[in-house]
Structure 1
Amino acid sequence: AAAARRTGRATPELRAELGSIGRCTEHSVALTGGGHRGALWALGLLVAAAALDPGAHGPEVTATAKRIAAHADRRAPRRPSRGSSVSAKYGAAGARGEARAGFPHVRRALDALAAARSAGVPEPCARLDALLTIMSTLQDTELLYTGGPHGLRHVQAGARGVLEAGGTSTRAGRSGLAALDDDLHARGWSPGGSGALLAGALFVDALPVTPV
């Protein structure tokens, strides 16, 4: 946020500084034994976008993040990451492609949250339904790495099945979610990319709305 406020615009210099901050954060998180690079990348861009345009919300924030992501990171190491290697192998957008497209799955999650809340769905279920909405269509590079294209399609179909059963606020939806969760645990698969984008959506959703 401080880098964005100091720069004031979505410039190549801001993109390079965010990349440097992100790599330092990745290193620190790795030392503690955890972390997801996609989440750091998504949240870093969205936080910077929100700082550049205080009072912006929803699509306005993702549009600003898109402008930042459009610039190349001139300081990025030349060695490919696991995510970029998987993206190249399978033609998936990956974290970088998602950002350069303006975070379409973050926007889908925001729409799902709004629809669920309007229908009176409890907040935990609304958030789970938003996650499943992302999972149902995202080309999750984490799943592609562990399960390949077949595994990705399997998980996407499972997520769609829960939503088509009425979502996690219904008995059928909860049963479907439990079965999907058991299946993922048994296979050792994790929809990490979807989780990262849900985190981004929840951040954008929590931004204060400035009264007109």
Structure 2
Amino acid sequence: MRVPCPASLLPPAYDPDGRGEVQALAGRLADLAVQALIDEAELTPKPALVDGRGSGAHRDLSLAAMRRSARALRPTFLAMAQAAEGQPASRALREELAAIGRAGEPAMLAATGGSNAHRGAIWALGLLLAATAQGHAASPAEIGARAAAIAAYSDRFVPAAPSNGQSVAARFGVAGARGEAKAGFPHAVHVALPTLRRVRAGGAGETHARLDALMAVMAVMDDTCVLHRGGLPALRAAMAGARVVLDAGGTATPDGWAALARLHDTLMRLNASPGGAADMLAAALFLDRVTCPAAAGSCPLMETDPWKS
């Protein structure tokens, strides 16, 4: 289904709680974040990731669990958007957003039976929707820069024990999720989103546009999820395989489609899932909706219009 392009999220769409425009904007941003996570999960076929075929390399997850997790995080995203509405970047905002994100993790774990479906996405999408809520409509790069300004502040209350991603980033000397945020999410803003729009504009279907965006990120990003599961050999295989898909003309071509299937087989053998790249795709899908050019007339949002939820 094609829906009108959301060129601006600022005019109020609905006010379910009678709290005025701030609540309406925050609710719309939360809906868009949830929908981005669902769209990423449902995209099929993805290499070694949960999708419509099955669990990929994630034996503890399923597509149904990913959908439940995304929907369970709506209150978290709503609270983040409300906290950032009209606020400048500051240490207080950084710490408040982090506290909201950590408080939201139990809802994710309850929805998945204890599995980590979206911890990285809470960080990425939370910062981007907060950056969107800070001020008037902005370009993807401007939203990324706002998110970077928030992420630049330290958090006095960060848990002492590092996460798997932080440990992997330190071990291999890569940016990781925190480095990505402090740089303004370049893999979402400057890699995934331009690829998505370029392939879409070229006439390929939305599935191919989204898969090619994922491949573009996988080809260049040091994915800590891949490194955690398979080390440098798995990362090299993921990057090289994604480049083969793109060099073949992308997933809309027979050769690119075949290369995508081979990449899936390779990463399944290595038990390596590109979860970091998937988070950047979800971030790009969110940015696509909140910055869709008015000149485009409409945006292909596939089957679901989150504004109706």
TM-score range, shorter chain: over 0.9
TM-score (norm 2): 0.66
Letter in 2 for 1:120: G
3-state DSSP of counterpart to 1:137: coil
SS in 2 for 1:47: helix
Number of aligned pairs?
211
Query: How far 1:54 sits from its partner (Å)?
Result: 3.0
Q: Is the 8 A contact 2:196 2:213 kept in 1?
A: yes
Which of 131, 141, 151 is the matching residue for 2:234?
151
Q: CA RMSD in A?
A: 1.6
CA distance, structure 1, for counterparts of residue 294 and residue 221 of structure 2: 34
Q: Which has the higher helix share?
A: 1
Q: What is the aligned-residue identity percentage?
A: 49
Residue 128 (str. 1) matches residue 207 (str. 2): no
Shift of 1:208: 5.0
TM-score, structure 1 normalization: 0.95
Q: Distance in 2 between matches of 1:12 and 1:189?
A: 35
The answer to whether residue 87 in structure 2 is matched with residue 4 in structure 1 is no
Deviation per CA, 1:20-79, whole angstroms, max 9, x where unpaired? 011112232123333132111100000100101231131111111111111111211111
Higher RCO structure (Cα 8 Å, ≥6 apart) = 2
| Partner amino acid, structure 2, of 1:124 | T
Q: Work out whether residues 94 and 140 of structure 1, in 8 Å CA contact, stay in contact via their aligned partners in 2.
A: yes
> 2:140, 2:287 within 8 Å by CA — same for their partners in 1?
yes
Residue of structure 2 equivalent to 1:139 = 222
Does the CA contact (< 8 Å) of 1:116 and 1:126 recur in 2?
yes
Where does residue 88 of structure 1 map in the other structure? 170
Aligned to 1:28: 107
Q: CA deviation at 1:209?
A: 4.9
Range with greater deviation from structure 2 (52-61 or 100-109): 52-61
* Whole-angstrom CA distance in 2 between matches of 1:15 and 1:146: 30
Amino acid at match of 2:160: R
> CA-to-partner distance for each residue in 1:180-211, whole Å, 9 max, x for gaps?
11222232210000001110110011115586
- Whole-angstrom distance in 2 between the partners of 1:85 and 1:151: 17
- 1:19-168 aligned at under 5 Å gives the runs 19-31=98-110, 32=112, 33-34=114-115, 35-107=117-189, 108-168=191-251
Paired letter, 1:177: L
Cα distance in structure 2, aligned partners of 1:72 and 1:120: 44
Q: Match of 1:178, SS?
A: helix
Q: How far, CA to CA, are the matches of 2:200 and 2:143 in structure 1?
A: 21
| Residues 163-172 or 181-190, more deviating | 181-190
- Asked if the contact 1:55–1:210 (Cα under 8 Å) also holds between the matched residues in 2, the reply is no
Kept in 2: contact 1:53–1:61 (CA 8 A): no
Is residue 18 from structure 1 mapped to residue 101 from structure 2 by the alignment? no
- Runs of 4+ in structure 1 over 3 Å off: 208-212
**Cross-structure match for 2:46:** none
Q: 1:187 to 1:209 in 2, by over 3 A?
A: closer
Alignment correspondent of 2:34: none
Check whether the contact 1:56–1:209 (CA below 8 A) recurs between aligned residues. Answer: no
More deviation, 184-193/152-161: 184-193
Cα distance in structure 1, aligned partners of 2:101 and 2:212: 29
Instruction: Report the equivalent of 1:199.
Output: 282
> 2:134 & 2:281 partners in 1: Cα distance?
21
Q: Name the structure 2 match of 1:175.
A: 258
